[in-house]
């Protein structure tokens, strides 16, 4: 059931949660435990849960003796190679308390842009969820190039939500909600609700995350929320420490309405025609 409000979140049966690098690395690595507690609670009530987690590069940086995020692709790939292993281990260590097994899924933008790898990814994710595995998704940084990168994991999370037909996407960060202007500025007001199609006119949206660690900001989250809402998922943007309250349906964060059913039906029909056209070309 696609939730129409926060109060209906506990009834959602397929949920994607995305967490950013700055929320689960460095001094915030301790937030992995409470995040897993919240995911396990949703899993325990029967929901199928997917975690899209940034943080491979940030987690690997100290082991490469790097003080800030590398700018060249090769070093990013090296840090991701080291960090991805450690990151998944930390998640699995926390999940062991609930007898939940994690499955690692690494994707590139190209995987979701072409029908065959996209179908393979969808089939694998569906099977993992049916087996009650908790997939942990990240961009495959060790093979992605600048030309085919998602750019940020907010967009990846939105595309994963679309891929698996999720009913809810929760985007977590360092900020508790979307504001009318950067929240540190005077006069900034929390935006509690964004109706479908609202252009957010007059809202000043920042484009940068925490310096030296993450790559996203409010701008990427709004863009991702619109992608997911268009595909039929409700979206909630809030802070990582509030994830338990968010998944319990409390009044936190910024809520984006999903597209109405008529709009979703049009999108599904367009997708079928697109898939048929691509199959005819291959």
Average pLDDT rounded to a whole number, residues 98-122: 92
58 has a pLDDT exceeding 70? yes
Residue 49 placed within a domain: yes
Report if residue 67 sits inside a domain. yes
Band (pLDDT 50/70/90 cuts) for residue 208 is very low
Number of domains composing the chain: 1
Is 209 part of a structural domain of the chain?
yes
Residue 121 resides in a domain: yes
Give pLDDT, residue 73: 84
If one compares 266 and 17, the residue with the highest pLDDT of the two is 17
Would you state the structure tokens that stand for residue 180, as one six-digit string?
């009318």
Known binding residues for substrate: 54, 141, 153
CA distances from 144 to 106, 156, 260 (A): 10, 13, 35
For the chain, give the mean pLDDT.
Answer: 88
Q: Is residue 26 a part of any domain in this protein?
A: yes
- How much is the pLDDT for 172? 96
Band of residue 202 on the pLDDT scale cut at 50, 70, 90: confident
Per-residue pLDDT at 253 exceeds 60: yes
Residue 205 has pLDDT above 70, yes or no: yes
Give the pair of three-digit tokens for residue 27: 């001094």
**DSSP element (H, E) containing 127:** helix 115-130
Query: Is residue 165 situated within a structural domain?
Result: yes
Instruction: Give the model's pLDDT for residue 17.
Output: 98
pLDDT tens sequence across 173-183: 999 999 999 88
CATH of the domain at 106: 3.40.1160.10
Give the lowest-confidence range in 57-66, 222-231, 255-264: 255-264
Known binding site for ATP: residues? 18, 173-174
User: Using CA atoms, how far apart are residues 116 and 6, in angstroms rounded to an integer?
Assistant: 36
- Binding residues, as ranges, are 18, 54, 141, 153, 173-174
Q: Which of 177, 135, 121 is nearest to 39 (CA)?
A: 135
Give me the domain span that covers residue 45: 6-281
The number of helices, as runs of H, and strands, as runs of E, in the chain is 10, 10
pLDDT in tens, 124-146: 999 999 999 999 999 887 776 55
In a domain, 1, yes or no: no
The DSSP bridge pattern shows strands 102-107 and 134-139 to be parallel
The reply to whether 51 falls in a domain is yes
What pLDDT band is residue 14 in, cutting at 50, 70 and 90?
A: very high
């Amino acid at each position: 059931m696609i939730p129409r409000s926060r109060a209906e979140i506990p009834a959602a049966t397929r949920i994607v949660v995305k967490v950013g690098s700055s929320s689960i690395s460095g001094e915030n690595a301790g937030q992995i435990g409470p995040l897993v507690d919240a995911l396990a609670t949703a899993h325990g009530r029967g929901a199928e849960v997917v975690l899209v987690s940034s943080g491979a590069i940030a987690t690997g940086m100290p082991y490469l003796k790097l003080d800030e995020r590398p700018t060249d692709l090769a070093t990013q790939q090296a840090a991701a190679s080291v960090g991805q292993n450690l990151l998944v281990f930390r998640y699995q260590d926390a999940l062991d308390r609930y007898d939940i097994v994690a499955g690692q899924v690494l994707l590139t933008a190209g995987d979701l842009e072409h029908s065959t790898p996209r179908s393979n990814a969808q089939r694998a994710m569906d099977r993992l969820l049916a087996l009650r595995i908790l997939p942990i998704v990240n961009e495959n940084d060790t093979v992605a190039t600048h030309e085919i990168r998602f750019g940020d994991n907010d967009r990846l999370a939105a595309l994963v939500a679309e891929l698996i037909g999720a009913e809810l996407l929760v985007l977590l960060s360092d900020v508790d909600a979307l504001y009318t202007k950067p929240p540190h500025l005077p006069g900034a007001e929390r935006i509690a609700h964004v109706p479908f199609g609202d252009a957010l006119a007059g809202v000043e949206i920042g484009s940068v995350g925490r310096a030296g660690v993450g790559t996203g900001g409010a701008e990427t989250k709004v863009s991702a929320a619109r992608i997911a809402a268009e595909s039929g998922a409700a979206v909630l943007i809030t802070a990582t420490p509030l994830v338990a309250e968010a998944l319990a349906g409390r009044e936190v964060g910024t809520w984006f309405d999903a597209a109405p059913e008529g709009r979703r039906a049009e999108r599904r029909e367009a997708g079928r025609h697109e898939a048929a056209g691509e199959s005819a070309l291959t």
